[in-house]
Amino acid sequence: MVVEDDEDLRVAVTTELAASGLRVGQAGDLAGAHAELAGADYDCAVFDRMLPDGDSIGYVHRRRLEGWAVPVLFLTARDSLDDRVAGFEHGGDDYLVKPFAVAEMTARVNALCRRSGSGRPSVLRHDDLEMDCARREARRSGTLLTLSDKEFAVLEFLLARPGQAIGRDELIEHCWDSRTDPMSNVVDVVVRRLRLKLREPGLIHTVRGRGYRLATR
């Protein structure tokens, strides 16, 4: 989740994060961020400090008191030692001073996302399929698969829920950004490519009227 009122910077950051394989939500103020965060599960939140409706440090602090545990990266032009310490003391997990390299920000966000998902094993297995999430590698019967970011994200989501029927809307919500049209056929296209790369016998089964599930061959 990226919360930044500078539209050009917000677009640049979300584009870079999406290119790294993440699903990215966005907002331009605290009210929008609160609504978005209430409607979906996020692995990390990136907050600009000074937003039109307040300093995000106060918002994060209040959410921490309520038990909110999503890792937070603060972006800010305020680079004094006191400002950085205040960010950590009020619930921040990382602090990046503007101007910054977007590549560095992406690396920091990915590190926070891995921390958020620490309860899930870094290596997922199903039948003869194995996925190392940290290395971003997938193998079937020991053979390395060449997957795009979206193919990896969809397969990872299915692997984490073997046997469960996963709807197209849910896959779009977790593997694409918020601007993706839920009526498009992007999920079917990616699943079709995955089936070709996984080869026979097939592991991704269609559940009529419900979506897809990972099943035993």
pLDDT score recorded for residue 118: 46
**Other CB atoms within 10 A of residue 193 CB:** 15
d(CA 91, CA 71): 9
Residue with tokens 């590190």: 111
The per-residue pLDDT for 143 is: 94
CB atoms within 10 A of CB 88: 12
Same domain, 11 and 106: yes
Residue span of the structural domain in which 26 resides: 2-116
Domain boundary (91, 116, 141) is at 116
User: 147 and 204 in one domain?
Assistant: yes
Residues 46 and 103 grouped into a single domain: yes
Residue 9 shares a structural domain with residue 68: yes
Same domain for 7 and 107, yes or no, is: yes
Residues 135, 105: one domain? Answer: no
User: 73 with 108, same domain?
Assistant: yes
Closest of 186, 198, 116, 119 to residue 155, by C-alpha: 198
The pTM score is 0.56
At which of 116, 134, 169 does a domain end?
116
Comparing CA positions, the residue from 217, 19, 195, 214 lying closest to residue 109 is: 19
Question: How far from the centroid of its chain's Cα atoms is residue 77's Cα?
Answer: 25
131 and 37: one domain? Answer: no
Backbone angles phi, psi at 147, to 5 degrees: -120, 145
Is the domain of 57 the same as that of 34? yes
> Over its length of 217 residues, how does the chain's per-residue pLDDT go in tens digits?
999 999 998 988 888 888 777 888 999 999 999 988 887 778 899 999 999 999 999 999 998 888 788 899 998 887 788 888 888 888 888 888 888 888 888 888 888 887 765 445 567 888 899 988 767 789 999 999 999 888 988 898 888 777 888 888 888 877 776 556 656 788 999 999 999 999 988 899 999 888 898 886 5
pLDDT score at 153: 84
Alpha carbon distances (Å) from 179 to 136, 175, 176, 182 = 25, 12, 8, 9
Q: Residues 138, 168: one domain?
A: yes
What is the domain count for the chain? Answer: 2
Q: Residues with Cβ < 8 Å from 78, sequence gap 6 or more? A: 49, 50, 97
Q: Do 29 and 64 lie in a common domain?
A: yes
Residue 78, domain CATH:
3.40.50.2300
CATH, residue 173: 1.10.10.10
Q: How far apart are CA 116 and CA 132, in angstroms?
A: 17
